[in-house]
Chains A and B, each alone.
Chain A
Amino acid sequence: MKLKMKSSRLLSLIISLFGLAAVWSQTLEQTEQVADKFMEQGDYYSAAKFYSRVYFFADKSQLGRINGKLGMAYFGKGDFKRAYNHFDVAQKLESDDSTKTEWFLRKTSALILRHQYKLALLGILNYRGKFTSRQQKNLIFLKGTVYFAEEKYDEAKKTFVQIIDPGDSLALARLDSLFTKKNLMRPNPVTAKWLSIFIPGLGQIYAGDIKNGINSFALNATLFYLFARDAVRFSFTESFFVFYPWIQRYYQGGYERAQRIAKKKRRQKRAQVYHGVHEILM
């Protein structure tokens, strides 16, 4: 009986060892292939997990490539901070010029997506690597995007024009029609604010939010009417102490809101302009 127990334990141990051997048989290359497959499927979370495993065991010669791939996985996940760090290491470790530039471009786009425009511009202006014509085009586009983000629209337009073929008059005209004052500078949040200071609700209407404008005007008009009525009926001081806190809240709330609405509207219009530029140039 004792022997039987022992032999069954031995058997299970052998089976477990075989199982372990099967796990061991997965090489770094295979793990990387699995991660590549996850990347193809768009499962960036799993891809990052597998690339991290490869990264841990990889030797020095593989680190550049794996860092780049890890950066791409994090980029896909939307974690641009980590993506930037891995692209940065990949760029430093890479010896091939074209691949080095590719990591640099990815690194710069990660910076732009993190809204770190000044740092991105600094990198672009200081980069001395070699480019393919396609990479050159992408770099100019990134530079234009940074100028656009910094609200230097003339510089941005000049930069974007460099990518367009001079003979392509249609694309040039489309770009011209996008870069107008109306598209980029209107509605002006400061104007919206001052309009609402003079006549409550007018700033909202100017920014395109008519419902809010009418709402603000009606509310403030009612409060001002009640204030005036009580000032005449009782006394100015009494009416002031009763209605001032209300008027202050909704009057100030109205013009602050007008400014916010105008800011949002302008940002939306700028995003539309950029979409247009992207469609023309990419």
Chain B
Amino acid sequence: MKKETIIITIFLLISTLSVRAQQINEPPDYMIKLKTVFDVPEGHHHDFSKPLKNASNELEFLFGLFYWTYKNFISSQDVDSCVFYPSCSTYMILSIQKHGVLTGFLEGMDRLMRCSPFAAYGHYPLNKKIMKYEDPME
């Protein structure tokens, strides 16, 4: 019995020591944090199908479908030419959702006419992070 007790005690002592050794060998917090220094941020994932899902009538669904197709297959291949945030297409779809097809379409067209590097200067606050002029849907 005594022998067993001694063996168990020694075993427990050794295991405690190994845990302690592991703690000492652990790298400090700043070295752990350094692991992420070259990580690439994934960026925002936009759900372009939202207007499709939220459409309240057939016409809104049709515009939602145009928007989804444009954003996924055409706008994604374009040079970054829109000077505003949100972009003109997003602005138009948000406007259609809020004010209905006719007013929304006209507001979108108005935005497209305003979208030029010369027109925007000084009139809209510049978002320096994305280098675009802020013109939110009101």
The chain A residues found within 8 Å of chain B, CB to CB, are: 72, 75-76, 105-106, 109-110, 112-113, 115, 138, 141-142, 145, 148-149, 212, 215-216, 219, 249-250, 252-254, 256-257, 264, 267-268, 270-271, 274-275, 278, 282
- A138→B74 contact, CB < 8 A: no
Q: Type the 1/0 row for B70-87, where 1 means its CB is closer than 8 Å to any CB of A.
A: 000110111101000000
- B77→A257 contact, CB < 8 A: yes
- B33→A109 contact, CB < 8 A: yes
Chain A binding surface SS class? helix
By a CB distance below 8 angstroms, the chain B residues around A278 are 34-35
Chain B nearest CB: distance from A117 CB in Å?
10
Known contacts A109-B30, A145-B34; can you find 18 more A-B pairs with CB under 8 A? A75-B30, A76-B29, A105-B28, A109-B31, A112-B34, A112-B37, A113-B34, A113-B37, A115-B37, A142-B34, A145-B37, A148-B38, A212-B77, A215-B76, A219-B74, A249-B79, A253-B78, A282-B35
Chain B binding surface SS class? helix
Chain A nearest CB: distance from B93 CB in Å?
21
- A149→B40 contact, CB < 8 A: no
Q: Which residue of B lies closest to A138 (CB)?
A: B31
- B40→A275 contact, CB < 8 A: no
For the complex, give the distance between the alpha carbons of A273 and B119 in Å: 46
Which range holds the interface residue count of chain B?
A: 20 to 34
- A75→B33 contact, CB < 8 A: yes
Chain B nearest CB: distance from A184 CB in Å?
11
